[in-house]
Amino acid sequence: MKKLFLLISIGLVAGLYACGGGKTDNAGKEKDSVEKTEKDASTGATSREGEVRQLTLADFKSYVMDTATMEYLGDRPCVIDFYADWCGPCKEMSPVVERAAAKLAGKVDFMKVDVDAEGELAAMFGISSIPTFVFFAADGTPNIYTGMVSESEFMEMVERYCLGKK
């Protein structure tokens, strides 16, 4: 019985560690990044070029889409990353999104939405799994992808859905 309890305990600890519990370094960096961009979003100011902006429902209605008319308000294409702080795959995709934002600064806007804090905004898109990415073309046409991908696949999706490259 003691052996069974020990095996189950080891399995649970290993499972938690594998699901992102042991990646405190990245989580701390992401938290700093989120706090930095939240300041921009709370003031309504546009984030600096090449940064991922934290998005609230109010910001979405002001800068991305008028929900009453469903009119796209952006000046250029954008990518919205729906994530949660506790989500391991979301933490893995965060640096990929940040590098894409830096690489495509001035061409595509990158934003992210914490689904726990902005449940109403997540519900508008029917988000049930994360990470989920919504790619808006310049004309406002949305394309949605759910799950993790490699950095090259993510860049291909941004180029295809946002910039119209094939």
Which pLDDT tens digit goes with each residue over 7-41? 333 433 333 333 333 333 344 444 444 444 434 44
Contact 124, 92 (CB under 8 A): no
- 35: number of CA atoms within 13 Å, CB side? 6
| pTM for this predicted structure | 0.71
pLDDT of residue 165: 86
pLDDT of residue 50: 84
Tell me which residues of the chain have a pLDDT lower than 50. 1-46
Q: Which domains does the chain have, with CATH numbers?
A: 24-161 (3.40.30.10)
Contact 121, 56 (CB under 8 A): yes
Q: Would you please indicate which residues are annotated as catalytic (active-site) residues?
A: 87, 90
pLDDT of residue 36: 40
- Side chain identity at 129, as an amino acid letter? S
